[in-house]
Structure 1
Amino acid sequence: MSDSEQRTEVNVVRRLVPADAMAYRARMLDAYERHPSAFTSTVAERGALPLRFWEERLAPGEDTADVVYGAFDAGGLVGAAGLSFEWRERARHKATLFGMSVAESARQAGFGRRLVLALLEHARQRPGLRLVQLTVTEGNDAAQRLYERCGFQPFGVEPLAIALDGQLLGKVHMWCDLLQPGHLQG
């Protein structure tokens, strides 16, 4: 896809490719900066990584370790979320949703839901995959409700999961069974 085609995408959710790496990096660094309690990674840790890290995360192909989808409005990339696939034989039936971010300017436009549903659909197409799991910081009720509307169920809380500014925050663990009907309702 050419740069001019990417610039004209509006209200689109699609899989990101290596050419999107700079925009993806900027989106995520902004998210780490504005919402540090939502992420385990810090802006300093991820900002120090070379562009190659971001490009590799967006590698094309059907059997990659990660896939990332992006949401675009007239201003460009406004949201992103990814799936990381287990490589170990006994855990290959699982994937982890990571890095969910929607820019402040694009919130309440349905991008978050569309990103999650696109990832779940992608997961359903991957042979042998049975469930997607994620964590959400305890107290982030809006994010937890979004995930629940998309078919995720909480199964426990990891206490003291992340340290942020002298506080220890818990993470709610959630999962979605890809074989359960009704999880892709509009």
Structure 2
Amino acid sequence: MEIRRLGPEDAEAFSVVRLEALQKDPDAFGATYEDEKKRTLEEWKERLSQTSPSESGFFGAFSDGEIVGTIGFFRHKGTKARHKVAIVSMYVRESHRGSGLAAGLMNAAIDYLRGLGDVDQVQLAVVTTNPAAVRFYEKMGFATYGFEKRALRVGDQYFDEALMYLLFE
């Protein structure tokens, strides 16, 4: 299993996995399949561009050359908030769940963020209807600091999110 930072050359494969995630787990992400499928290949490439590698990016886990899991991050803007980074878009294909791949992806992202030297807090939001994901993040050292009611809406159904953080010592 290889885990590495994704670049524009991974755009097509990344888009396939991202769209799969949005179809299989629509309530777990802020984006929708309908919106994301409209992106052009150039837009996917731009999303994976590493022009500002300390500001945002994605990591991919590969099995036999195929992306089987992803995790993204973006740094908060503004001088007073630049020490915080948000983890986004974590997804592992069903065929690789339970294999430790999710922990590998999270560790790769955390190691990268620690290596930047000026990040000391990692945040994420997770829908409360996914207790397995909440437990996973807790096992990775994240603690809950709040809840957002009705954070996401899919049709007429609302989803609450647990807001979690990990402090670097």
**Quick check: TM above 0.5?**
yes
Matched, 1:26 2:12: no
**Mapping of 1:1-186 within 5 angstroms?**
11-60=1-50, 63-74=53-64, 76-179=66-169
* Contact 1:84–1:97 under 8 Å retained in 2: yes
Identity across the alignment (%): 33
Kindly report the root-mean-square deviation, in angstroms, between the aligned alpha carbons of the 2 structures. Answer: 1.4
> 2: distance between equivalents of 1:71 and 1:126?
21
The secondary structure found in structure 2 opposite 1:92 is coil
Gaps of 5+ in 2: none
> 2: distance between equivalents of 1:85 and 1:52?
23
TM-score (norm 1): 0.86
User: Which string of whole-angstrom CA distances, capped at 9 and with x for unpartnered residues, describes residues 19-51 of structure 1?
Assistant: 001111110100000100100100011111222
* Contact 2:149–2:160 under 8 Å retained in 1: yes
Q: Aligned residue pairs: how many?
A: 169
> 2: distance between equivalents of 1:75 and 1:56?
22
1:120, CA displacement in angstroms?
0.5
User: Which string of whole-angstrom CA distances, capped at 9 and with x for unpartnered residues, describes residues 125-172 of structure 1?
Assistant: 113111010000012111111111111111111001111131111010
Tell me which amino acid in the other structure corresponds to 1:172: A
TM-score (norm 2): 0.95
Gaps of 5+ in 1: 1-10, 180-186
* Contact 2:61–2:101 under 8 Å retained in 1: yes
